[in-house]
């Protein structure tokens, strides 16, 4: 898959530039004895800091680790490869984020942490402080490329979901057509890109690009929390009812329940108390979207019950026919 190969090439470049900058900052600060463990201390968090919003940002940054699942029909030995890919993504990305967050904090200056939050391009600022013009150029280039790479990854994952649902007869059939040579869901990609282009430009013109990005990001993060909670509930129900012989009290019982509790706490803490901004509409928008989804599901269950059952077997149990 050429798009995947392109994304991997971009990823290697971006990570390489970030690690170069990270080790440059750590080496310079370390040689001056200015490295500190303060960023890891909860006692240093100010009283007016909104910790839950920080967690939401972290979740939004992690969203997409599960995208490898959408390629399950296109890889060899998916039941072994996909779980390893998902877990590997979580571990490696977690370490990378932890390193770069620390570098950003100490590189910008712990005493200037408030300014860091208001800086539109903090790593550009850090690169100017600790590197030359070439380093700044590479950091800015990596930032631009990362936006393109993320867009490609999102389209790859979402288009395959559109394709699979369309193939089962729940979306328009033309979305399930694939390219005659590359065997990729071309129509689903075109449809998805057209939809996001119209909605993105419309919201950008209406709310300004920055506000629209923040609103869509908040909606995406809160929706992802709900999806993760539903997946945890589905895991518990599936192993308790359909695969009782493989039910494990920790993996299939306590962990999913703990996940739901954590998601509920984070979700509530992120929307209450409310701030005086457009983001207050996020919970209402998500609720309306969920209600619309349930209405559509009930409608489809009435007119296409067999397709719903077949899609459930595909997406929930993984039993691809």
Q: For position 90, what pLDDT does the model report?
A: 86
User: Could you tell me if 196 and 69 lie in one domain?
Assistant: yes
Block residue for tokens 């269950």: 301
What pLDDT sits at residue 83? 85
Residues 198 and 302 in one domain: no
Q: Which two tokens stand for residue 236?
A: 């518990």
Q: pLDDT of 38-50, one tens digit each?
A: 888 777 666 666 6
Measured over the CA atoms of residue 237, residue 315, residue 195 and residue 53, the dihedral's sign is positive
Q: How far apart are CA 317 and CA 302, in angstroms?
A: 22
Check whether residue 167 and residue 257 sit in a common domain.
no
Share of the chain above pLDDT 70, in %: 90
> In this predicted structure, what is the pLDDT of residue 48?
62
The answer to whether residues 156 and 191 belong to one domain is yes
Residues 11 and 62 in one domain: yes
Confidence at residue 292, expressed as pLDDT on a 0 to 100 scale: 94
- DSSP letter, residue 185: -
- Stretch 261-267: mean pLDDT: 84
Q: Which of 94, 15, 59, 293 is nearest to 102 (CA)?
A: 94
* Same domain (yes/no): 171, 97: yes
Q: Are residues 192 and 268 both part of a single domain?
A: no
**pLDDT above 50: residue 319:** no
pLDDT of 203 over the 50 cut: yes
Are 297 and 165 in contact by the 8 Å Cβ rule? The answer is no
Instruction: Locate 180 and state its tokens.
Output: 């005659």
Examine the pLDDT at 316 and tell me if it is beyond 70: no
Interatomic CA distance for residues 128 and 21, integer angstroms = 11
191 and 253 fall within a common domain: no
**Average pLDDT, integer, range 124-144:** 93
Other C-beta atoms lying within 10 Å of the C-beta of residue 195: 12
- Of the listed ranges 211-220, 286-295, 308-317, the least confidently predicted one is 308-317
Q: What is the mean pLDDT of the chain?
A: 84
| Same domain, residue pair 132 and 43 | yes
Whether 320 shows a pLDDT value over 60: the answer reads no
Nearest in space to 161 (alpha carbons), one of 311, 32, 270, 21: 311
Does residue 178 share a domain with residue 268?
A: no
User: In the chain, how many domains are there?
Assistant: 2
Residue 321, pLDDT score: 39
> What's the rounded mean pLDDT across residues 222-231?
88
Is residue 30 pLDDT above 90, yes or no? Answer: yes
| Among 272, 232, 228, residue whose Cα is nearest residue 255 | 232
User: Is 17's pLDDT higher than 90?
Assistant: yes
Whether 186 and 52 map to the same domain: the answer is yes
Has residue 315 got a pLDDT over 70?
A: no
Mean pLDDT for the stretch of residues 200-219: 87
Does the pLDDT at position 231 exceed 70?
yes
Helix, strand, coil in percent for the chain, rounding step 5: 80, 0, 20
Nearest to 2 by CA among 187, 158, 184, 193: 184
Confidence (pLDDT) at 95: 93
Q: Which domain holds residue 54?
A: 1-202
Instruction: Select the more confidently predicted residue: 241 or 168.
Output: 241
Domain-ending residue, one of 146, 178, 202: 202
Last-in-domain residue among 141, 176, 202: 202
The pLDDT score that the predictor gives to residue 198 is: 94
Tell me: pLDDT of 167 over 90. no
pLDDT at position 125 is 92
51 or 286: which leads in pLDDT: 286
- Whether residue 308 contacts residue 170, with contact meaning beta carbons closer than 8 Å, is answered with yes
Q: How many CB atoms lie within 10 A of CB 164?
A: 22
- CA angle, 307 then 223 then 165, to 5°: 20
Q: What is the pLDDT of residue 256?
A: 93
CB neighbours (10 Å) of residue 85? 18
Note the pLDDT tens digit of each residue in 61-101: 777 777 777 777 777 788 888 888 888 888 998 899 999 99
Report the Cα–Cα distance between both ends of the chain, in Å, rounded.
23
Is residue 172 located within the same domain as residue 72? yes
Neighbours of 98 (CB within 10 A): 11
Q: Which of 202, 229, 258 delimits the end of a domain? A: 202
């Amino acid at each position: 898959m050429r798009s995947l190969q392109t994304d991997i090439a971009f990823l290697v470049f971006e990570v390489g530039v970030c690690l170069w900058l990270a080790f440059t900052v750590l080496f310079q600060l370390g040689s001056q004895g200015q490295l500190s463990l303060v960023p890891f201390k909860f006692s240093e968090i100010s009283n007016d800091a909104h910790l839950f919003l920080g967690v939401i940002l972290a979740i939004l940054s992690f969203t997409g680790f599960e995208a490898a699942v959408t390629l399950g029909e296109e890889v060899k030995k998916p039941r072994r490869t996909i779980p390893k890919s998902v877990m590997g993504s979580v571990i490696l990305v977690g370490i990378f984020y932890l390193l770069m967050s620390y570098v950003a904090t100490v590189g910008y200056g712990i005493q200037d942490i408030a300014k860091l939050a208001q800086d539109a391009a903090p790593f550009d600022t850090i690169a100017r402080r600790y590197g030359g013009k070439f380093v700044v150029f590479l950091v800015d280039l990596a930032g631009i490329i990362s936006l393109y790479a993320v867009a490609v990854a999102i389209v790859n994952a979402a288009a395959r979901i559109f394709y699979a649902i369309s193939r089962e007869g729940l979306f328009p059939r033309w979305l399930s057509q694939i390219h005659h040579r590359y065997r990729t869901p071309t129509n689903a990609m075109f449809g998805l890109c057209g939809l996001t282009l119209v909605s993105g430009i419309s919201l950008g013109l209406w709310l300004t690009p920055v506000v629209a990005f923040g609103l869509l990001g908040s909606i995406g993060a809160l929706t992802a929390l709900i999806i993760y909670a539903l997946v945890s509930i589905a895991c518990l129900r599936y192993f308790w009812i359909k695969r009782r012989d493989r039910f494990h009290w920790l993996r299939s019982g306590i962990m999913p329940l703990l996940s739901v509790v954590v998601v509920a706490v984070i979700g509530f803490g992120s929307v209450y108390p409310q701030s005086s901004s457009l983001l207050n509409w996020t919970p209402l928008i998500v609720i309306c979207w969920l209600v619309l989804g349930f209405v559509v599901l009930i409608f489809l269950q009435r007119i296409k019950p067999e397709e719903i059952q077949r899609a459930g077997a595909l997406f929930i149990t993984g039993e691809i026919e």
